Structure 1
Amino acid sequence: MKKKVRIGLVGAGFVSHIHINAFRQVIGIPVEVAGIYTRSRGEEFAQKYGIPRVYESYQQMLEDPDIDMVDICVPNIVHREVCIQAAEAGKHIICEKPLTGAFGENITNQEAGDFSRLDLYKEAMKNADAILAAAQRNKVKVCYAEDFIYAPVVVKTKRLLKQSGGSILEIRSEESHSGSHAAYSRHWNLAGGGSLLRLGSHPLGLAIHLKHFEGKLKYGKPMNIKSVIADVATLTHTQAFKNSGKAWMVDKWDDVEDWATVVLTFEDGTKALINSNDTTLGGIVNTLDVYTTNSVIKCDMAANDAIKAYAPANEIFGDEYISEKIETKAGWTFPSPDEDWMRGYPQEMQDFVEAVYFGREPISDGELGRQVVQATYAAYLSAEQGKRIDLAELDADIDRNKEEESR
């Protein structure tokens, strides 16, 4: 058992601030964000949060024997590289979602978003498998940062499911809003996909986790996905959108989608409906509905009515945060008292720190991240081919073709 868990933070973007605040709420275990590496704003970030060390390179962080775990808060395109390097250095890993993706590494003279979805599936799975293999080889933990698993409403849902004894028939989950303003998110070769990967990884992770939870309760093993069918679109490229006048949502997408719907079929024949889009006004949508044989459970990780506020003009509340992705502070709003807690960030970091401190596995692990990647890129393939994709058959076909090519 360690005396203290020391974290090395990689990146200083939006989610890094959330993670720092979450680490500060860990109780019962000594934990310290001991250093940071980022290409810019490192000194400024360290000074703001009292981080004692600013590394000149990622390698310097990995060579520091005081660092037990690295918290990877950098763009998806570098997840594979930084995760594998951390594992090879013997550091435990926290990796923001998604675990990895496909970016068209071998594409020439063609946009990644126009590339064969089968080839992108192969690339994504190769990347995910490489991360998990490096972690296993070096005996380090991969903590997959899917915060919604730790959200209070989801934890309560699991307790209700366990008590009721009913069987899940359908899960409906969504993350949607009016679009990311990050420039990289518009290009497949930088983001690895559009709204399905960037937003859909949350509801996909939730659905997969809940069926794993149910499977372990009832049968002693996880209930996995059997098949996927999906559709994707870029609705802001349609003539209907272009004729509508002022754009109230992000519309500068290059070769990625801004709308996606996925239907998962699990091994027991039950279903999950996953929605994710960048075309929803009125604030972020984070919902989970679970329909069982003897109950209905509806969760909302974003909505709040504990406090209501009215302002006749947008500027009245100034810089005070209201809630994520609302377009205006004018009129009636529903300020979130503690958005990070409702979405599970502090609870997530509590689990990850405990996993390292006590030498156990995290609730949200690398295998969940891998299965989210698999479902996502199988969904892209389904949308391209216009048919249901059976995961076992897909992987068997890929393996068979590899064998034939090697002869």
Structure 2
Amino acid sequence: MATLGIGMVGARYGARMHYENYSKLAHGLVEIRGVCALTKESAQNYAAAYQVPMATDSLEELLANPAIDIIDICTPPASHHEIAIKAANAGKHIIMEKPLTGYFGEPDDEQPIGKHVSRDKMRRGASKNAEAVREAVTSNRVKFCYAENWVYSPPILKMQKLIRASKGSILELRAEENHSGSNSFFSKEWRFMGGGSLLRMGAHSVGACIYLKQFEGYERLGRPIRPISVIADTADLMHSDASNRAKVVNAHEWISSNPVDVENWANVVIRFEDGSRATVMVSDVGLGGLNTRVTAYMTDGVIKANMTLNDAVETYSVDPNTFANEYYTEKLETKAGWNRPSCDEDWFRGFSQEISDFIYAIKEDRQPLSGIDLAVDCVHVIYAAYQSAEEGRRIDL
């Protein structure tokens, strides 16, 4: 089968991570044939590091390259939907890092939009962007691959098998992700990210809950079980009175979260059409390394999936520098004391599997496990949660 040509859009963390997982595929399956970044220098640095033949700061030039079959979008979310629509109109298949899109303000809006734009207006704008991408993908008949790695992680895949094996129903899902804050400059402002921890991190938890209820629905009823309403609360805890009291001991010594106009904590309850619930908890102010979990409380059992910590390898050190030169796991603040380094973080969290599924879905002309509908549903649920948190009421979907 012909080698698929990849065009990377973005040249930083996400693009580097995607390269690492492309490189694990069978030889000759894919080739990164071009990279586009905000500056030509950034694109050239990526191209030099990974032997990519084309480097540009022009998206149009990348899209015009006939050797490129797939556009892989690893840019900040504010540009996601526009790039995706242009790629679809150019007949290119799409791989996109989450989230799909959001609301990013108006062109002449100079104020921090998270502090003065109503969440109802944001919800309408985000939904419009999301549906525009779906329309472009559908009308141009291209594949859209939504990089929601939780769907592909071995713990969630095993959870699906256990749900299938049981005779019961899911009454409640509890999903959480927390760590001590993003290192990205863009994460601080709504105009770049489209939201805070609820969108940036909660897309994982919300996406996993929607996906698992869809899976249960197909298994039990032959159709997906859909979310129908949301109630939520959000906060910027690092600028709360509780954080201000800690300034004498420097609240930001270990927690990097310091937003301008986004939240760094959220709690969401999703109601599904069968009466079941999903509780989503996300936080950018949680010490102890990355924590990602989903629990299914069923009528005949409980299933717990942990996408990060495992005890295959354990270490103890008095000095945090004892193992300084070896990677442990994302967001770990210190290597002192007892720790559990991940053996293969990309595999265990589903990054390798999602890239493989995307490439074979495009080659085999089938839909990926994580596609456009899941991406759009996540936007609708998360922005309904933002509106709920602002208005203090349940929002129907």
Bin the TM-score by the shorter chain.
over 0.9
Please state whether the residue corresponding to 1:350 is helix, strand or coil: helix
Structure 1 residue 251, shift from structure 2 partner: 4.1
What secondary structure does 1:378 align onto? helix
Is 1:64 the counterpart of 2:57? The answer is no
Q: Is the contact between residue 44 and residue 56 of structure 2 (CA under 8 Å) also seen in structure 1?
A: no
Whether the 8 Å contact between 2:226 and 2:273 is mirrored in structure 1 is yes
> Per-residue deviation at 1:32?
1.6
Query: How do 1:126-275 and structure 2 match up within 5 A?
Result: 126-244=128-246, 245-247=249-251, 248-275=254-281
Larger deviation, residues 150-159 vs 247-256: 247-256
What's the secondary structure of 1:332's corresponding residue?
strand
**Where do 1:248-327 residues align within 5 Å?**
248-327=254-333
CA separation of 1:243/1:9 partners in 2, compared to 1, >3 Å: closer, same or farther?
same
| Equivalent in the alignment of 1:398 | none
SS of residue matched to 1:281 = coil
The correspondence of residues 64-103 of structure 1 with structure 2, limited to 5 A, is 64-103=65-104
Partner Cα separation in structure 2 for residue 256 and residue 80 of structure 1: 20
Change (3 A) 1:268 1:28: farther
| 2:342 maps to amino acid | S
Which 10-residue stretch deviates more, 200-209 or 291-300? 291-300
- State the 4+ residue runs in structure 1 displaced beyond 6 angstroms: none
Q: Secondary structure at the match of 1:243?
A: helix
Deviation by residue 1:289-326 (Cα, 9 ceiling, x = unmatched)? 01111111101101021111222222232332111101
Query: Does the CA-based 8 Å contact 1:284-1:302 persist in structure 2?
Result: yes
Q: Is the 8 A contact 2:72 2:95 kept in 1?
A: yes
SS at match of 2:156: helix
How far did 1:59 drift? 1.1
* Distance in 2 between residues matched to 1:318 and 1:232, nearest whole Å: 36
Moved more, 179-188 or 196-205: 179-188
Match of 2:35 in 1: 36
Read off the aligned partner of 2:272 and give its amino acid letter. F
CA RMSD of aligned residues (A): 1.5
Deviation of 1:51 (Å): 2.3
Q: CA contact under 8 A between 1:5 and 1:356: conserved in structure 2?
A: no
User: CA offset at residue 376 of structure 1?
Assistant: 0.5
What amino acid does structure 2 have at the position aligned with 1:195?
Answer: S
The whole-number CA distance in structure 2 between the counterparts of 1:204 and 1:42 is 33
CA distance in 2, matches of 1:211, 1:251: 32
Give the structure-1-normalised TM-score: 0.93
Query: Following the alignment from structure 1 to structure 2, what is the Cα–Cα distance between the partners of residues 251 and 68?
Result: 38
Matched, 1:375 2:348: no
| SS of aligned partner of 2:125 | helix
The Cα of 1:111 is off from its aligned counterpart by: 2.6
In the alignment, is the contact (CA less than 8 A) between 1:29 and 1:354 conserved in 2?
A: no
**Contact 1:10-1:73 within 8 A present in 2 as well:** yes
Amino acid paired to 1:233: A
**Structure 2: runs of 5+ lacking an equivalent:** none
The letter of the residue matching 2:214 is H
CA distance in 2, matches of 1:94, 1:366: 10
Matches of 1:200 and 1:120, distance apart in 2? 17
What is the identity percentage for the equivalent residue pairs of Structure 1 and Structure 2? 44
Partner of 2:393: 387
* TM-score, normalisation: structure 2: 0.95
CA distance in 2, matches of 1:196, 1:140: 29
Structure 1's unaligned 5+ residue stretches are 392-407
Name the structure 1 match of 2:25. Answer: 26
Q: How far apart in 1 are the matches of 2:363 and 2:49?
A: 27
